[in-house]
Structure 1
Amino acid sequence: MHMQRPLTGFRVLDLTVALAGPYGSLLLGGLGAEVIRIESPAGGDIARTNPPFVGDHGVHFGAADPGDVSLTILNRARNKKSVTLDLKSDRGRAILLELAKHCDVVIENMSEGATDRLGVSYKDLSAVNPAIVYASIKAFGEPSIYPDTKGMDVIVQALSGIMDVTGFSDGPPTRFGLPIADLLAPLYACNGIMAALLQRGRTGKGQHVEVSMLDCLASLVAEEHFDVFSDAGYPTRSGNFHDRLVPFGVYPTSDGYVAIVAFSPEWMRGLFETVGRPDILEDPRYATRGPRMKHASTLNEVIAGWTGKHSTEEVVGQLVARKVPCGPVRSALDVLRDPRLRERGAVVDLEHPRLGRVGTGMGLPIRFSDAAAAFDQPADDLGGSNQKILGELLGMEAEEIAALKNLGVI
């Protein structure tokens, strides 16, 4: 039996570019919403020019040939219908307002002031559809609290404090290994969209949902009590260790690294009996978590001295036998190739409609007992759904659509 998707019947008007916005609309599409993505006729989303490209000559990092497509777009634009529309033209804006009448959600991450200049702000679209839920993802809010600063992910990371708490205490602030601001903000935006849709179900009225990338990261930094730790003399950057929960960290082995967590009394006993240092358990410096923090480096040296003499497999095997939480530090390639993660849909094959499998893509890591969800529709070519959306949804004749193309409106 074909299982319905949770957002089947909802239609999303997607005015996003790059990553933060498109990841949000990707999630909505995977959950079953019909996503109509608006792109510029002049070339579409800037991500369409991101290397590597794939085409008849395979995957490459050179200049794109006609017919080549960016792997970025193949990843981020699945489950979306691409419609080209020049929003700077009066006709293009009028068409967008018509589309908004048929949509439940709008999601955008344009630069500050752009929606007002184009006439596609929440005020403009809610005037034609009061039930619309309009979600905005901005770097620093709107109006921006840093109006002269470009909202790029690494800049947001720098301003958020997350770089200050990432890395080793004797090293520099470190960029998070993924564009975490770009990926986290759309998760909050989707939460806001779902909540607004639920409220609309009670009131019949839409609303504006706003998410700031900086707010999202700053709220996570505030999860730890860095102000208190700093006053007590603890560094904000603790590298591979978490002294408040010591033993807690990443330790070298003879052939790699292993993560170990052993802050509870049972786990501590299992760890240090395995290490061959049961005497540590009777030492008052390590008996409770408070005093243990002050001597974390000593404990970590003892653990690393033992793990370094054994292979990762040996360390994990011995600690698992003692029910001590641990796991090998895997490479990114190990994860992408893990058959169990592929079976669960966290990692999927990235498909090109003509060329077949071309790489690995993001999966949708949400599972339902009575619904389906997946990124299973390949990315549309630029303007690939013009005829379908403008013709079937707005009722335009083929001649009118052709005329709009000739005028550069689509």
Structure 2
Amino acid sequence: MQPLHDIRVLGVTVFLAGPFLCMNLARFGAEVIKIEVPKRGDPVRGNGPFAGPNGIHSTRQTDQDISTRFLKRTQGVKSISLNLKQAEGRDLFLELAKQSDVVIENLAPGSMQRLGLGYDDVSQANPGIIYCSISGYGQTGPYASWRAHDPQIQGMSGIMDMNGNSDGPPTRIGIFISDLVTPMFAAYSILAALRHKEQTGQGQYLDASMMDTIATLMFMEPLEEAIEQGEPMRTGNDSRGGPTGLYHTQDADIIITVASEEQWQRLCRALEAPELKEDERFATNQARNVNLDALRLEIQQRLGKLTREVAVEQFEKHDVPCAPVRSVSEVMADAHFYQRGTLRPMWHTTLPEPIGGVTAGFPVMFSGQPLPDLSGAPTLGMHNHEIYGKLLGLSGEHIQRLQTQGIV
């Protein structure tokens, strides 16, 4: 099943947000062509650890070694080299854009315009183009010129103020959340723009801001109420209300959710603690919130006498939402993810066998038929002859001249 089989994407993308967007469009069958700087490529190509025939290691060992970061972000993508700072390189890009449906870039705002390849320039060559820019703060506004990666966005967006313990400092979320979630918003915005183009023939410019994305996620929650009431932004592993949170058993941690009166009643039965229901401090949801520290202590004292296995079994038996807090190693070893295709082996196009480690699959299963497996990550300029030769009709001698002149 390749619903985007007739869509061609040009990606002037580096690091994570842009490449992640491109890879996910490739999952649905789009032909995604990654534009890279000749001889250097995406900066991530030089970032370890590296994978090769001898496994994964911290430094390069052979010519086949490739960054595992690059592997995880460019599965199924084609690579061509092109110097956009040279006039002939710019012209070649515009020729490619004429035969493409989507352009994606995540350079610093204004970079593509200075190259003469901004939306206005490209749309003159192809009025129907969907052109998507991803940046830290957006193409407009007071912060547009500020440089940013995910850590700066987490700080500026306020999400670090929500994360961490109430008596501790703001804490960065462990994954590059703005680099990963913004491309998701961008992906379905591109699909909406393509649908609009089908109906009207009109192309469109999409301005995706990483900070704006995180802000829209945060303010789904009633943060303004917490601010008004002077409550701490950071709640750590606990909840703003009720005994939802992290608890310690004899041998491991678990996390439970108690978000309703019915769940509270079931929790008391699971703990075999009818006395908690009869305690006036915990008789109502409001009373439980007022006496939350005391309530959590009561629950912890009872859970501390059980093993994780027994505690989870008890909560499951009484239909209380509960799960063990697992290590990343436990998750990687769980057959569930491989059966569903959520985690997959990493591939590199030059090697016949999967490389050690895992990369992400796609978390949605389709009833019709599965999405196709993506090919491995490309070497730099691997598809030059295919794209310049077959798509633009350039001869081998022409491509050789471009290479000699440093254009490709």
TM-score range, shorter chain: over 0.9
Query: Could you tell me which residue of structure 2 aligns to residue 361 of structure 1?
Result: 359
Runs of 4+ that moved beyond 4 A = none
The percentage of aligned residue pairs carrying the same residue is 39
| Structure 2 runs not aligned, ≥5 long | none
Query: Could you tell me which residue of structure 1 aligns to residue 331 of structure 2?
Result: 335
Structure 2 distance, partners of 1:229, 1:96, is 50
1:259 and 2:237 are equivalent in the alignment: no
Q: Residues 253-298 of structure 1: CA distance to partner in whole angstroms, max 9, x if unpaired?
A: 1111101112222321221123233232234543433343222222
CA contact (8 A) 2:239 2:245 kept: yes
CA contact (8 A) 1:139 1:151 kept: yes
Structure 2 distance, partners of 1:189, 1:263, is 33
Deviation at 1:147? Answer: 4.8
1:273 and 2:262 are equivalent in the alignment: no
Structure 2 distance, partners of 1:344, 1:7, is 22
Structure 1 distance, partners of 2:286, 2:200, is 51
Deviation at 1:351? Answer: 1.7
Residues 111 and 375 of structure 1: is their aligned pair in 2 closer, same or farther, counting only changes over 3 Å? Answer: farther
What is the aligned counterpart of 2:20 among 6, 23, 32? 23
Query: Could you tell me which residue of structure 2 aligns to residue 235 of structure 1?
Result: 232
CA contact (8 A) 1:6 1:372 kept: no
Structure 2 distance, partners of 1:145, 1:67, is 44
Query: Could you tell me which residue of structure 1 aligns to residue 207 of structure 2?
Result: 210
- What RMSD in Å do the two structures reach over aligned CA positions? 1.6
TM-score for both structures, normalised by structure 1: 0.95
Deviation at 1:332? Answer: 1.1
Structure 1 distance, partners of 2:144, 2:208, is 16
1:83-122 correspondence to structure 2 within 5 Å: 83-122=80-119
Residues 56 and 347 of structure 1: is their aligned pair in 2 closer, same or farther, counting only changes over 3 Å? Answer: closer
What is the aligned counterpart of 2:397 among 396, 399, 402? 399
Deviation at 1:42? Answer: 3.0
Deviation at 1:209? Answer: 1.0
| Structure 1 runs not aligned, ≥5 long | none
Q: Residues 147-198 of structure 1: CA distance to partner in whole angstroms, max 9, x if unpaired?
A: 5632110010011111110010011110101000101110010011011111
Aligned length: 406
Deviation at 1:55? Answer: 2.5
Residues 243 and 374 of structure 1: is their aligned pair in 2 closer, same or farther, counting only changes over 3 Å? Answer: farther
Deviation at 1:144? Answer: 5.0
Moved more, 356-365 or 384-393: 356-365
Describe the SS at the equivalent of 1:370: coil
1:379 and 2:377 are equivalent in the alignment: yes
Moved more, 261-270 or 339-348: 261-270
Query: Could you tell me which residue of structure 1 aligns to residue 307 of structure 2?
Result: 311
Structure 1 distance, partners of 2:53, 2:210, is 38
Query: Could you tell me which residue of structure 1 aligns to residue 4 of structure 2?
Result: 7
Structure 2 distance, partners of 1:375, 1:332, is 24
**Which residue identity is paired with 1:407?**
Q
CA contact (8 A) 2:154 2:178 kept: yes
Query: Could you tell me which residue of structure 1 aligns to residue 29 of structure 2?
Result: 32
1:301 and 2:297 are equivalent in the alignment: yes
**Which residue identity is paired with 2:334?**
D
**Which residue identity is paired with 1:234?**
E
CA contact (8 A) 2:80 2:381 kept: yes
CA contact (8 A) 2:261 2:285 kept: no
Structure 1 distance, partners of 2:80, 2:141, is 30
Structure 2 distance, partners of 1:408, 1:96, is 15
Structure 2 distance, partners of 1:374, 1:261, is 37
Structure 1 distance, partners of 2:232, 2:138, is 30
CA contact (8 A) 1:29 1:375 kept: no
Moved more, 226-235 or 126-135: 226-235
Query: Could you tell me which residue of structure 2 aligns to residue 58 of structure 1?
Result: 55
